[in-house]
Amino acid sequence: MASGVLRLVLGDQLSRGLSSLSDLDPDQDVVLLVEVEAEATYVRHHKKKIAFLFSAMRHFAAALREEGIAVDYVALDDPENSGSFRGELQRALARHAPARIVVTEPGEWRVREDMLQWEETFGLPVELREDSRFFCRTSDFADWAEGRKSLRMEYFYREMRRRTGFLMDAGGAPEGGRWNFDQDNRKTLPDEIAPPDVLQVKPDAVTREVLDLVEARFDDHFGDLHPFWFAVTAEEAERVFEDFVQERLPQFGDYQDALALGEATLFHSVISLYLNAGLLDPQAVCARVERAWREEDAPLNAVEGFIRQVLGWREFVRGLYWLKMPGYRQSNFFEGQRGLPAFYWTGETEMLCMAEAIGQTKTNAYAHHIQRLMVTGNFALLAGVAPGAVNEWYLVVYADAYEWVELPNVTGMALFADGGLLASKPYAASGKYIDRMSNYCKRCRYDVKQQVGDKACPFNYLYWDFIARNGERFGTNPRMALILKSFHRMQPAKVEAMRRQAEAFLENLETVEEGQWRGR
Ligand code: FAD
Ligand code: DLZ
Ligand code: SF4
């Protein structure tokens, strides 16, 4: 193969239109996919995430082969498997003797750093190509960010709407006369509305084989492997997405911020794992959703809300990640030092909202945005957990987690650890918020109306303790002024009682230090 190209495709690059495959010559080139222990265990990912990726990789390889493309696929149980990208490249070079290597840039800093050494290590040209599956190049984001005092998603999003034309009218104004219908997206779920289930895909023979492999090799990882219902091909993922568009999109907007007992997915799309692995294309997804509005199958608040997540938030967090790494990982504005409460790994807590979010995460490798942000994220913020430990948890437990998207959401959005680069104020909230948006509190052992005492909801005293501890850090942030005003009006004795109860609660928490879920 001396003049051929070895094209490495990573587990989250399963898109036929990938830049590294664009000029593939089927007569000379080989596509390499490798299942490696190092990627499955650099954090010990949820079992479902590993099974999803391995099965999707195997199906992607089979589809390329059907096109007549030579694919070299190294399975995890290959006795010669070296366990790492480097080791597998070394072995593949010996098998194929290519003239050069082509790869699309990865989604994580640590992998990119490694790739930048490959040319020297392997002694042949390594071409690292831009990942064209995003709307905004990392360099365009850097240009947009240049010179701005603060980076606000809303302005970035407007710019992206203008650039792409999504939901823009002929005169260049936003459809419906507004950029943002967020105010219309805050309903709670009435008892009589039952959200339709997400379409589940039955595992085929390839997936069943992978499930056995994961069971045998990653039994000590977090989460339930069964039942396994994820799509593992682009066609299946498209069916799952189309089912969302028909069955849940019309109400996606209204209930976007809702929480409800026993409802793990509500009206959410549950497609982040497919978008992030490359089985769905963000452009096609946004275009389909816009068409649903133009054909009057879904209202504007739902369609705009959805497009804002994919075109706005998803692109914004990626831009921020590449702009601020590697330092971003060290951000710790509130100087959180605590280990992660052990119940994050078991779900065993009397706080019903937390038990629901963690239990569903364990079962599904999924929780919706408000659970991630206002329940588990909010608790970690109020409890002063070290950002490293929180990030580790989020990277382990979700099937859609890759550092480019996980880190800004955790460090920037949930923890405000970047001091306000991503968010204009901390998303800190007492039990009152959870009570307003859910039906949890009526069934909880704690009383959300109480601020101190044995029955008091821990979110309440932890919240006011957080405000007390960090009041000075909020400085002149106008968005915190009202809260500080209410705090200063509180009876000192009550503040002191809440402070003491928070301290006792936190002292009694069994915690797990960062690193326990890294490697083997
Ligand atoms: P929907 O609610 O149906 O939204 C549609 C799509 O919009 C999602 O599939 C996703 O691709 C995109 N999206 C929505 N919000 C965001 C966001 N804040 N950032 C990026 N994309 C967004 N998302 C991940 O993909 N991977 C992660 O590791 C991840 N970690 C998170 C950690 C925290 C603390 C928080 C607060 C959010 C995190 N998110 C993450 C964002 C968001 O919660 C998930 O994308 C969403 O819950 C996925 O479910 P869905 O597909 O049903 O989304
Ligand atoms: C997450 C993951 C896992 C579990 N396993 C593999 C693998 O065996 N082979 C592979 O190519 N990719 C895997 N991935 C995805 C990578 O971790 C991901 O490509 C990098 O983190 C860069 O985003
Ligand atoms: Fe969560 Fe507090 Fe409500 Fe219980 S009372 S569900 S702990 S917010």
List all residues 6 or more positions away from 157 whose beta carbon is below 8 Å from its beta carbon: 179, 308, 311, 312, 313, 316
- DSSP assignment of 458-481: HHHHHHHHHHHHHHHHHTT-GGGH
pLDDT of residue 515: 85
Which of 441, 447, 505 maximizes ligand 3 atoms within 8 Å of its Cβ, making it the mutation to test the pocket?
441
Ligand with an atom nearest the CA of residue 450? 3
Residue 197: Cβ within 10 Å count? 12
Atom of ligand 2 nearest to the CA of 404: 23
Out of 2.60.40.420, 3.30.300.30, 1.10.1370.30, 1.25.40.80, the CATH code matching 138-198+248-315 is 1.25.40.80
Burial of residue 165, with CB atoms counted within 10 A of its CB: 0-12 exposed, 13-18 middle, 19 or more buried: exposed
List phi, psi (to 5°) of 420. Answer: 110, 15
Q: How far is CA 288 from CA 22, 155, 196, 439, in A?
A: 24, 24, 20, 33
Which of 317, 400, 402, 413 maximizes ligand 1 atoms within 8 Å of its Cβ, making it the mutation to test the pocket?
400
Domain boundaries, the chain: 5-129, 138-198+248-315, 340-512
pLDDT of residue 17: 98
For ligand 2, which residues put their CB under 6 angstroms from it? 10-12, 34-36, 39-40, 45, 50, 53, 106-108, 111, 402
Tokens at 100, concatenated: 């050069």
Calculate how far, in angstroms, residue 471's C-alpha sits from the geometric centre of ligand 1: 30
Residues of the chain where predicted confidence (pLDDT) is lower than 50: none
Ligand with an atom nearest the CA of residue 31? 2
Ligand 3 pocket check for 375: Cβ under 6 Å: no
Ligand with an atom nearest the CA of residue 431? 3
Nearest C-alpha to atom 7 of ligand 3 is from which residue? 351
Ligand 3 pocket check for 459: Cβ under 6 Å: yes
pTM: 0.98
Please provide the size of the chain in residues: 520
Out of 1.10.579.10, 3.50.30.60, 2.40.170.20, 3.40.50.9100, the CATH code matching 340-512 is 1.10.579.10
Q: Which of 239, 240, 233, 238 is nearest to 204 (CA)?
A: 233
pLDDT of residue 1: 63
Quick one: the chain helix, strand, coil %, rounded to 5?
50, 5, 40
**CA 368 remoteness from chain centre:** 10
Average pLDDT of the chain is: 96
Is residue 326 reached through a cis peptide bond, with omega within 30 degrees of 0 on the bond before it? Answer: yes
Which fold does the domain 5-129 belong to in CATH? Rossmann fold (3.40.50)
Atom of ligand 3 nearest to the CA of 457: 2
